[in-house]
Amino acid sequence: MVRRRQTRRRKGSGAAGILWTFLLLLLLLPAGVAAWLVFAPFGPETETFVDLAPGSSTLRMGRQLEAAGVVRSQYAFDLVRWWKRGTLKAGEYRFDHPAAVTEVYARISRGDVYTRTVIVPEGASLFEIAARLEQAGFGTRQSFLDGAAKQVGLVRDLDPGATSLEGYLFPDTYHFARKFGPAQICAAMVRRFRTVAGQLGLKGNLHRVVTMASLVERETAVDAERPLVAGVFENRLAKKMPLMTDPSVIYGLELDGRWRGAIYQSDLKLDTPYNTYLHTGLPPGPVANPGLRSLRAAMEPAKSDYLYFVAAGANPQGRSLFASTIEEHERNVADYRHAVKKAGGR
């Protein structure tokens, strides 16, 4: 009898073990499925964009990601959001390889939005900026020029007489969303100008300062020379001498669609408002977009008696040659031509 009872107890114990194992499996199965949904890589093999609008709920984001094939299940994304409890950031995201939901979530939590980089160098003109934007995939060059022409109101308080944004599109490295148009791009660049202007304490006749700075920017890339170049221009203006600066002439040719990639003697005789060989005073407006150091030089030109210079950009010696008299200047020109010839030029 004892043996039989022991046998029954063993059988009962075995049945209970099976039951507990079954229950454990039932509990582990959902956890395993959840782990697979969350951690197993999934997603597109090719470039896919998802634009998450501001104010979107986690559920809506999850639905968009699932519909785009970025995650297997919107509920897996929602689960990770509940687990991590981070803040999700709106914007356009680019996905190009399979990834775990945790990785997708981390990118959106960081705000790792997709942007295209555009580098605007100091001294770039509106035309050059338009070409760079076209190269970066922001529409055609002409579409930006047309769009920028409509945005002059962005600087109306700074320069009431401005007819263009030239001079106020601050040179910098920009990261623009893929769908940005001319209005948003111009606004970002003008905002950057305003920030720098505030740092410099730029005030008074901004039109004059920015126009002068644009000439300085295009005439020399040597920082130490910028105040000296500005001083030469101020001295010539004071004596009512024409500035005779090629960058201004070139800009007038660009506006008229006559720029041929090099300046010719005939160009210096072409009567445009920007021809500073024919007209005294500053040109009608900026001829490029100056950086901080040229703006500062225009605000604080160096005091000197220099009236002439051979620009550093044209000099193989890498520095500008300044002179107070025409005789000195002619010697500098001769030295410049000798240096060009020695360097293998014509």
Q: Which option is the CATH number for 48-110: 3.30.1490.480, 3.40.50.720, 3.50.50.60, 3.40.1400.10?
A: 3.30.1490.480
Mean pLDDT, to the nearest integer, of 140-159? 95
- Split at pLDDT 50, 70, 90, the class of 335 is confident
DSSP bridge pairs for 128: none
> Whole-angstrom Cα distance, residue 98 to residue 89?
21
Percent of the chain with pLDDT over 70: 86
Nearest to 194 by CA among 223, 161, 165: 165
What is the tens place of the pLDDT at every residue in 303-316? 999 999 988 664 44
Which 8-state DSSP code applies to residue 223? G
Asked whether the beta carbons of 136 and 118 are under 8 A apart, the reply is yes
Please report the sign of the dihedral spanned by the C-alpha atoms of residue 123, residue 125, residue 126, residue 129.
negative
Measure CA of the first residue to CA of the last residue in the chain; give whole Å.
121
Tokens of 63: 């639905």
One-letter amino acid at 273 equals P
Say if pTM beats, i.e. exceeds, 0.85: no
- Split at pLDDT 50, 70, 90, the class of 27 is low
> Whole-angstrom Cα distance, residue 87 to residue 79?
14
> Regarding predicted confidence, which is higher, 158 or 31?
158
> Whole-angstrom Cα distance, residue 32 to residue 26?
10
> Whole-angstrom Cα distance, residue 90 to residue 63?
14
Predicted pLDDT of residue 341: 76
What is the tens place of the pLDDT at every residue in 190-209? 999 999 999 999 988 999 99
- Whether 59 shows a pLDDT value over 70: the answer reads yes
Domain ranges of the chain: 48-110, 116-200, 207-342
> Whole-angstrom Cα distance, residue 285 to residue 106?
48
> Whole-angstrom Cα distance, residue 1 to residue 219?
113
**Rounded to 5 degrees, what angle do the CA atoms 152, 300, 281 make?**
60
Nearest to 283 by CA among 254, 310, 259: 254
- Split at pLDDT 50, 70, 90, the class of 37 is low
Task: Using CB atoms within 10 Å of the CB of residue 333, give its burial: 0 to 12 exposed, 13 to 18 middle, 19+ buried.
Answer: middle
Asked whether the beta carbons of 178 and 139 are under 8 A apart, the reply is no
Predicted pLDDT of residue 315: 47
> Whole-angstrom Cα distance, residue 288 to residue 282?
14
- Split at pLDDT 50, 70, 90, the class of 38 is low
Mean pLDDT, to the nearest integer, of 50-56? 94
> Whole-angstrom Cα distance, residue 125 to residue 252?
12
Nearest to 49 by CA among 107, 91, 105, 99: 91
Task: Using CB atoms within 10 Å of the CB of residue 277, give its burial: 0 to 12 exposed, 13 to 18 middle, 19+ buried.
Answer: middle
One-letter amino acid at 134 equals E
What is the tens place of the pLDDT at every residue in 167-196? 999 999 999 999 999 999 999 999 999 999
Which 8-state DSSP code applies to residue 265? G
Please report the sign of the dihedral spanned by the C-alpha atoms of residue 217, residue 221, residue 226, residue 232.
negative
Tokens of 29: 């199965």
- Whether 129 shows a pLDDT value over 80: the answer reads yes
- Split at pLDDT 50, 70, 90, the class of 12 is low
> Whole-angstrom Cα distance, residue 69 to residue 45?
10
DSSP bridge pairs for 51: 92
**Mean pLDDT of all residues belonging to the chain:** 89
Nearest to 64 by CA among 39, 86, 92, 96: 92
- Whether 344 shows a pLDDT value over 70: the answer reads no
- Whether 41 shows a pLDDT value over 90: the answer reads no
> Whole-angstrom Cα distance, residue 346 to residue 342?
9
Predicted pLDDT of residue 42: 77
What is the tens place of the pLDDT at every residue in 71-82? 999 999 999 998
- Whether 108 shows a pLDDT value over 70: the answer reads yes
Mean pLDDT, to the nearest integer, of 278-293? 97
What is the tens place of the pLDDT at every residue in 221-255? 899 999 999 999 999 999 999 999 999 999 999 99
Asked whether the beta carbons of 244 and 235 are under 8 A apart, the reply is no
- Whether 9 shows a pLDDT value over 90: the answer reads no
- Whether 330 shows a pLDDT value over 60: the answer reads yes
- Split at pLDDT 50, 70, 90, the class of 86 is confident
